[in-house]
């Protein structure tokens, strides 16, 4: 081979064909991956919302059912208040309430002294006349109001919840109460509402009270047990209604939706396994591949033909260049001269495309390092900046600040107003800084200002100026707010990482808050050379 000494050489046609093939494969795989990720997230979001809506619906039904049961007891309390001296009438009334609906496992009347005056069903009538000392009875006697008691274990090892209505006479004297009990380990109103809602894909729901005790669970053995080590259960009392990705007691990742039953202090949680939720994705991706593969093959053939068309004049040009010593070469070069212009245009187009791609990558990189709410640098951008300054031995001052009592703003005016306050604070920070200072939002209402080349005194002045600016600004509709600031300084000669300065600034912020807030606290030795 005449060119063996130069090693294996690929001509332009082969290179373009390989490039087209690789581009087609990469784009195809990228589209598959993007489709998979987007569809997977859509399935997860839909499952979370569906579980939340389902839990809210069941919580509302449970609330209504408890309200209806309490209303029945309220009517019975009026009736029994007029016949307290007639034990037979009291017994007949408790029997009527029990038979009127399937809401209760037993109904009873207890007087103000705690003595059981009447009870149904008949199997429990031997208890009539005895003092009632169960936790539910004592709670009702103590509270003397409409009540859904805390779940407790009875002497017979039943998990019991008592619904009660007080009895008052015309003079407002407390005479006792009418109650109905739910045996949560037996058939009851809760099982009637929730017992049919168990799915074959691993989805299930459970009800838990404010003491973390399971009141309903598809696994009857778990009813009455206390749930520990579950972050969602620990927060249910304060979360209200919402969604959460959690890991259950069997270590399975679940998609949970939850809602509260206000009158009882219970929470209904509906959840399903993440694996079952995303399982349809495999079938979907196979369908996408089956549909797109023929189109991809057709596209590859088209790319191959176009590559041949584009390469042919360039190959002719290369052939002419190899035969410069032959007659007619000038004419052949003249004939392909126009293709040089096309080649130049192709080069320009490729350069343009590369520049456009780099611009988009730069924009994505900027977005990845920018907080979307305030437009300030986020933690990723902060880490990049600190690494760059450390490599350059660039001294700087750090100001850590946050809004005093910002939680009150969110709790009182909502998160939209809270977001507006943070955006306005970011504007004030920009107004207090120089060109080249780095402003960061590190989380929530916490912010960080990095001042390259600034001394500790200069940074403290900037911090004080910003503090006054915030104090004098009215944040509609909140009004006046204040901030606390901590200042620290890093010298390139110090034997510590720049990140350690952030810790010192954060400690200074803590001292500012401990000293009464709305003030600047600085820490660290000042470099006299600055």
- CA separation, residue 247 to residues 250, 256, 525 (Å): 8, 10, 48
> 368: phi > 0 → left, psi -120 to 50 → alpha, else beta; which?
alpha
DSSP one-letter code for 230:
-
> Distance (Å, rounded) from C-alpha 134 to C-alpha 179?
13
A 10 A CB-CB count for 269 gives 25
Q: What is the CA radius of gyration of the chain?
A: 37
Q: Is 454 exposed, middle or buried (0-12, 13-18, 19+ CB in 10 A)?
A: buried
> Distance (Å, rounded) from C-alpha 216 to C-alpha 159?
10
> Distance (Å, rounded) from C-alpha 470 to C-alpha 480?
8
What phi and psi, each to the nearest 5 degrees, are found at residue 520? Answer: -110, 135
Q: Identify the active-site residue in 49, 63, 345, 445.
A: 445
Peptide bond into 121 cis (omega under 30): yes
What are the tokens at 166? 């007080």
SS3 letters across 63-122: HHHHHHHHHHHHHHHHHHHCCCCCHHHHHHHHHHHHHHCCCCCEEEEEECCCEEEEEECH
Q: Give the chain's end-to-end CA distance (angstroms, integer).
A: 71
What stretches of 366-473 adopt beta strand conformation (E)?
396-403, 438-443, 446-452
Catalytic residue check, 93: no
Query: Residue 202 in contact with residue 273, Cβ under 8 Å?
Result: yes
> Distance (Å, rounded) from C-alpha 35 to C-alpha 281?
10
Question: What residues are labeled active site?
Answer: 445
């Amino acid at each position: 081979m005449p060119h063996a000494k130069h090693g294996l050489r690929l001509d332009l046609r082969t290179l373009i064909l390989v490039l087209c093939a690789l581009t087609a494969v990469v784009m195809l795989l990228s589209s598959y991956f993007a489709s998979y990720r987007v569809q997977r997230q859509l399935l997860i979001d839909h499952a979370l919302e569906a579980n939340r809506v389902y839990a809210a619906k069941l919580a509302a039904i449970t609330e209504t059912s408890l309200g209806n049961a309490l209303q029945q007891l309220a009517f019975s309390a009026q009736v029994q208040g007029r016949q307290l001296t007639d034990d037979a009438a009291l017994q007949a009334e408790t029997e009527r309430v029990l038979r009127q609906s399937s809401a209760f496992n037993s109904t009873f009347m207890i007087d103000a002294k705690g003595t059981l005056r009447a009870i149904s069903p008949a199997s429990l009538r031997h208890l009539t006349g005895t003092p009632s000392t169960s936790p539910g009875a004592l709670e009702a006697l103590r509270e003397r109001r409409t009540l859904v008691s805390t779940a407790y274990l009875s002497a017979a090892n039943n998990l019991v919840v008592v619904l009660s209505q007080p009895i008052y006479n015309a003079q407002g004297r407390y005479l006792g109460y009418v109650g109905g009990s739910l045996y949560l380990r037996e058939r009851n109103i809760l099982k009637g509402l929730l017992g049919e809602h168990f799915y074959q894909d691993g989805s299930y729901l459970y009800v838990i009270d404010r003491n973390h005790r399971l009141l309903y669970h598809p696994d009857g053995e778990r009813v009455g047990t206390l749930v520990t080590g579950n972050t969602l259960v620990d927060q249910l009392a304060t979360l209200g209604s919402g969604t959460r990705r959690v890991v259950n007691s069997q270590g399975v990742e679940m998609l949970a939706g939850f809602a509260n039953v206000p009158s009882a202090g219970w929470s209904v949680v509906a959840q399903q396994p993440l694996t079952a939720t995303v399982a349809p994705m495999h079938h979907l991706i196979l369908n996408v591949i089956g549909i797109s593969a023929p189109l991809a093959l057709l596209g590859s053939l088209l790319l191959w033909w176009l590559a041949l068309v584009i390469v042919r004049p360039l190959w002719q040009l290369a052939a002419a260049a190899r035969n410069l010593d032959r007659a007619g070469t000038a004419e052949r070069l003249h004939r392909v001269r126009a293709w040089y212009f096309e080649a130049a245009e192709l080069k320009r187009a490729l350069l343009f495309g590369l520049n456009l791609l780099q611009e988009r990558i730069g924009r994505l990189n900027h977005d990845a390092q920018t907080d979307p709410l305030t437009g300030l640098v986020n933690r990723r951008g902060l880490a990049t900046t600190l690494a760059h300054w450390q490599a350059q031995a660039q001294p700087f001052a750090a100001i850590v600040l946050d809004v005093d009592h910002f939680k009150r703003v969110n709790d009182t005016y909502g998160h939209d107003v809270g977001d507006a306050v943070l955006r306005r604070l970011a504007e004030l920070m920009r107004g207090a800084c120089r060109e080249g200072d780095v402003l960061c939002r590190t989380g929530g209402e916490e912010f960080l200002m990095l001042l390259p080349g600034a001394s500790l005194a200069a940074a403290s002045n900037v911090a004080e100026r910003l503090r006054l600016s915030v104090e004098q600004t009215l944040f509609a509709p909140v009004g006046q707010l204040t901030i606390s600031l901590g200042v620290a300084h890093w010298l390139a000669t110090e034997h510590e990482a720049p990140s350690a300065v952030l810790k010192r600034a954060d400690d200074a912020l803590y001292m500012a808050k401990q000293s009464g807030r709305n003030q600047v606290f600085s820490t660290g030795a000042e470099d006299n050379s600055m």
